[in-house]
Chain A
Amino acid sequence: MGWESWLISTFARALAYGTPLLLGTLGEIYAERSGVLNLGIEGMMIMGAYAAFVVTSKTGQPWLGVIVAAAVGGVFSLIHAFASITLKANQVVSGLALTMLGLGLAGVLGRSWVGLPLFTPLTRATVPGLSAIPIIGPGFFTRQCLLAYIAMLLVPIMWYILFHTRIGVTIRAVGEDPATADSLGVNVARVRYLCVVVGGIFAGIAGAYLSIYYRPAWTAGMTGGIGWIVIALTIFAFWNPVYGLVGSYFFAALYFLAYRMQMWVAPSILKAMPYVFAILILIFVSRGTLQKRMGAPAALTLPYTRGEE
């Protein structure tokens, strides 16, 4: 196989597998920027996957499935928002609970759907013009899911909102220093609720992508730990949507390469590679952030109560 086709297939797989990572990461970046760590990504994702599969199977409308998945993810995230923002519960515990609840609930509800084929998955599309670029074109813009392109387009939009609009300033202020934001009349709880729900919606859509496009079938636990990789990627991305895109595709490419290299290296080692890589990146990033003030939002995981400083 020539290096060109090898590169093209790597790009194509990176985009295909990287899209749910990217969607989840974009959402988690917003939640964490507002100061709420949501470890429930996996749970929200699988609830979205389940909802999308069921709706699409029953109606034959995959896009309706995507919309319902987004709504389910958003509503499901409200559990975490209520516990951690209103009740000021420990965010780690509440997020973990959400993941377990989601995995369990989807597993039980989906029992009768296991093994059924999906006749109307999301369709593929080719971007006119861009697909003509050598290597990049066939790699990234040919016969991919429309959601993959949407996710890509969302990156500059989410970046612009976060760093160049009033909304973004408010979100970052709430995540860094809620007392200050509060003293200037910002409704801290509302901003946090909105950001957590945005995270839920994105995770729901990522789930839909998995169950009605990537592997158009339902199996319990089909998200397979993607939600956890999202948590790591959020840190890797320095809470910035642009780096989120780089990280998601890069990680997905590594994942794909691990498969391709099974001829030479023991598969179990290769399978561990992306995760080893994630740990290395986290160590590296944590060392770097100390010095550059690019670290986690200062109020991440800290509930806010007026007058308590």
Chain B
Amino acid sequence: MMSGSMTDGTEMKTAASPSDCAIELRGIVKRFPGVVANDGINLKINRGEIHCLLGENGAGKTTLMRILYGLYQPDAGEILLTGVPTKIRSPKDALVHRIGMVHQHFRLVPTLTAAENIILGLDEGTGPFLNIRKVRAKINKIANAYGLAVDPQAKIWQLSVGQQQRVEIIKALYRDADILIMDEPTSVLTPQEVDQLFSTLRTLVDDGLTIIFITHKLDEVMEVSDRVTVLRKGKVVGTQLTSETDKPSLAKLMVGREVVFRVEKTPVHRGDKLLEVTELHALNDRGLPALRGMSFDLYEGEILGVAGVSGNGQKELAEVLTGLRHATRGRVMLAGKNVTNHSARKIAAAGVAHVPTERITMGTVPNMSIRENLVLKSYRYPPVSHGMFIDYRYAKQMAQQAMKEYQIIAPSDETAVKLLSGGNIQRLVLARELSGDPRLIVAAHPTYGLDVGATEQIRQILLQQRDRGAGILLISEDLEEVMTLSDRIMVMFQGGVMGIVDGAAAKIEEIGLMMAGEKQGVSASAQSTNAKVA
């Protein structure tokens, strides 16, 4: 078999030339208990290109790249680097072969400085001693060459997410990587930071690097890549030149069917004022100010989207509104009643539903069954319970109905929640939270990590709730989601409101500037100066 592939004439004809091919993956198979994550993947990456790996969550993109980076061992198949079969047993092996990876969740030690993170694990021939001045000089040289400004002496936890990503890229370049794997690099960035990242990537490619860019966003594929490979359910469904394809056909490949991009939305019917937040202050887990005087209103029958780079107080806002965090100052009025710092149970009883960010740790009890999770809020009251006893037969009926209505797919209502997929868990959370028709729904990242199908469905559910008359506070880092669903968009920056704009008229540039800390209105004049800088 080995000799066959070595002398395979047809293979040679299809590739431009063997030296142009930086990486070739042949028949890669990786199984996890119950899933085939990669099912016989063949892929060729040319030297000096930006190659996008496109696919839904769970399509096997990250698994494939982890195999290439030595974090997983494939069950079958082989990796060829510039035509030579190579075993990559560990990340260290990958680094030896000059492969670098920027993970979706950064691999940085928060309490170490940027410089310390960059040199971690390296042997630069100075034994145990560090020539920190030389290290810093090399970092600055890389930073200047590729527009990756970062302070080497800053501790990672003090840096913004965008800066942390730059540290990650420098880390790979410091190790002389000439193949760079970027795993969903834009999910945490502002639009401006995305632009900056893309220009950095282009400079890198001009210098001869090869970049593999994992994403599920079609816009990014079109903007940044030279070629694109689409993965679906662990298989390659096509590789195309980006210039010869378009978004709808890529989407069709990715999902396996036509996708409606526009969510059908009825015009807004604003009701009475539902939520009135005045000068709200709160601290984060470290005791530092997270909310600094937020004020806004939310009406019945509208979706108020909250945009912002993560870590600007969105999490704390959701927690204060649902009674999980103490407000240090300010007032929260729900339908004319003061509910500031009421307990979570009281607030829930007042008709506030919470779809939390962490659907597994906060939204459900993973070891308990679907049925038990579904009655977690209503178990205290009849008809689910009578005195101290729970009517399990009633709960079972209720659970089975909810499973049907919300399409929660599981062997039975007694299945433990931890065995469900992300989409099923999220539908379960919605089923529980939306039962009893809440007046206010605080939804944090409701579609995060879900595939296109599940995302569509959950967005539809939220819109139905809005049309029913519920007020929805939609917190999301997915700007596209905020812009498609919201009737109004509020932008948060460092715990304050930068501005509230009309959803239909909102421009992405304007929102981007507010996400970076420009107050609404100031942005018009700032935009011209910004244009000069860019």
Contacts and interface: CB of A to CB of B under 8 A. Distances in A.
Interface of A: 161, 164-167, 169-170, 172-173, 176-177, 179-186, 290-291, 293, 298, 306-307
Contacts of A184: 91-92, 95, 107, 120-122
B484 to A, nearest CB: 32
Given A172-B109, A172-B111, A181 B286 contact: no
B389 interface: no
The interface centre, meaning the residue of A181, A185, A306 with most chain B CB atoms within 10 A of its CB, is: A185
A127 to B, nearest CB: 28
B286 A164 contact: no
B253 to A, nearest CB: 30
A183 B91 CA distance: 5
Nearest to B115: A169
The interface centre, meaning the residue of A173, A291, A307 with most chain B CB atoms within 10 A of its CB, is: A173
A180 B101 CA distance: 12
A307 to B, nearest CB: 7
B287 interface: yes
Nearest to A169: B116
Given A166-B128, A166-B129, A177-B109, A183 B71 contact: yes
A170 B112 CA distance: 10
Given A291-B286, A291-B287, A186 B111 contact: no
B119 interface: yes
Nearest to A161: B128
Contacts of A185: 90-92, 95, 121
Contact of B286 (A169, A186, A293): A293
A289 to B, nearest CB: 10
A34 to B, nearest CB: 13
B157 interface: yes
Given A166-B119, A167-B128, A306-B71, 11 more contacts: A166-B122, A166-B130, A169-B130, A172-B116, A173-B120, A176-B109, A177-B107, A183-B71, A184-B92, A290-B286, A293-B286
Interface in B500-524: none
B71 A307 contact: yes
Interface in B67-108: 71-72, 90-92, 95, 101, 103, 107-108
B110 interface: yes
Nearest to B286: A291
Contacts of A172: 109, 111-112, 116
Nearest to B96: A185
Contacts of B531: none
Contacts of A181: 109, 120-121
A198 to B, nearest CB: 14
B91 A182 contact: yes
A244 B166 CA distance: 36
B112 A173 contact: yes
The interface centre, meaning the residue of B117, B155, B288 with most chain A CB atoms within 10 A of its CB, is: B117
Given A166-B119, A166-B128, A173-B120, A293 B95 contact: no
24 contacts: A161-B128, A164-B132, A165-B130, A166-B127, A166-B130, A169-B119, A170-B121, A172-B116, A173-B117, A177-B108, A180-B108, A181-B120, A181-B121, A183-B107, A184-B95, A184-B120, A184-B121, A185-B95, A186-B120, A291-B287, A291-B288, A293-B110, A298-B111, A307-B72
B100 to A, nearest CB: 10
B107 A179 contact: yes
Interface residues of B, number: 33
A186 B157 contact: no
Contacts of B122: 166, 184
A185 B130 CA distance: 18
Contact of A293 (B71, B108, B111, B128): B111
Contacts of A180: 107-109, 117, 120
Interface in B20-39: none
Nearest to A179: B107
The interface centre, meaning the residue of A184, A291, A293 with most chain B CB atoms within 10 A of its CB, is: A184
Interface of B: 71-72, 90-92, 95, 101, 103, 107-112, 116-117, 119-123, 126-130, 132, 155, 157, 285-288
A307 B109 CA distance: 17
Contacts of A166: 119, 122-123, 126-130
A293 B91 contact: no
A173 B95 CA distance: 18
Contacts of B103: 183
Nearest 8 A/B pairs, CB to CB: A185-B92, A184-B121, A180-B107, A177-B109, A291-B287, A186-B121, A176-B109, A183-B91
A285 to B, nearest CB: 15
B331 to A, nearest CB: 26
A291 B286 CA distance: 5
Contacts of A182: 91
A290 B286 CA distance: 6
A176 B107 CA distance: 11
Contacts of B126: 166
A170 B95 CA distance: 17
B128 to A, nearest CB: 5
Nearest to B107: A180
Contacts of A176: 109-112
A298 B156 CA distance: 14
A291 B289 CA distance: 11
B107 A164 contact: no
Contacts of A173: 109, 112, 116-117, 120-121
Contact of B110 (A167, A177, A179): A177
Contacts of B128: 161, 165-167
Nearest to B126: A166
A158 to B, nearest CB: 13
Nearest to B121: A184
A88 B107 CA distance: 23
A72 B91 CA distance: 36
Contacts of B129: 165-166
B92 to A, nearest CB: 3
Contacts of B91: 182-185
The interface centre, meaning the residue of A161, A166, A167 with most chain B CB atoms within 10 A of its CB, is: A166
A169 B107 contact: no
Contacts of A177: 107-110
B75 to A, nearest CB: 14
Contacts of A161: 128
